[in-house]
């Protein structure tokens, strides 16, 4: 699994129990910590995922908050079903 997929999978693992996971924010630092990488090293990946339409980033909070988009949610579900 490449880094982008790991990030999408990790965000999904934190929100999948929610009724509307795309409406539930995750602190980017929490994802970075769970993937055992520094926040600064992860930011370019988060922005790339945002450009690809898989994540939304709220920079009003520090550290930024991450939201799965519907496309990101669909990707995460596909990843979860293939990596069981």
pLDDT in tens, the chain (84 residues): 799 999 999 999 999 988 888 889 999 999 999 999 998 999 999 999 999 999 999 988 888 999 999 999 999 999 888 876
- Domain covering 3-82 in this structure, CATH number: 1.10.10.10
Q: How far is CA 57 from CA 6, 25, 34, 79, 81, in A?
A: 17, 9, 18, 21, 25
Parse the chain into domains and list their residue ranges: 3-82
Reading phi first (left if > 0) and then psi (alpha if -120 to 50, else beta), residue 69 is in beta
pTM of the model: 0.89
Q: How far is CA 9 from CA 57, 60, 64, 69, 82, in A?
A: 16, 24, 18, 13, 11
Name the pairing type of β-strands 65-68 and 55-58.
Answer: antiparallel
């Amino acid at each position: 699994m490449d880094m982008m997929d790991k990030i999408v999978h990790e965000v999904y693992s934190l929100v999948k129990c929610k009724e509307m996971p795309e409406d539930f924010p995750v602190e980017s630092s929490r994802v970075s910590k769970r993937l055992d990488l520094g926040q600064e090293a992860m930011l370019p990946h988060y922005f790339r995922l945002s450009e690809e339409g898989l994540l939304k980033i709220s920079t009003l909070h520090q550290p930024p908050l991450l939201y799965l988009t519907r496309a990101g949610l669909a990707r995460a579900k596909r990843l979860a079903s293939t990596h069981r």
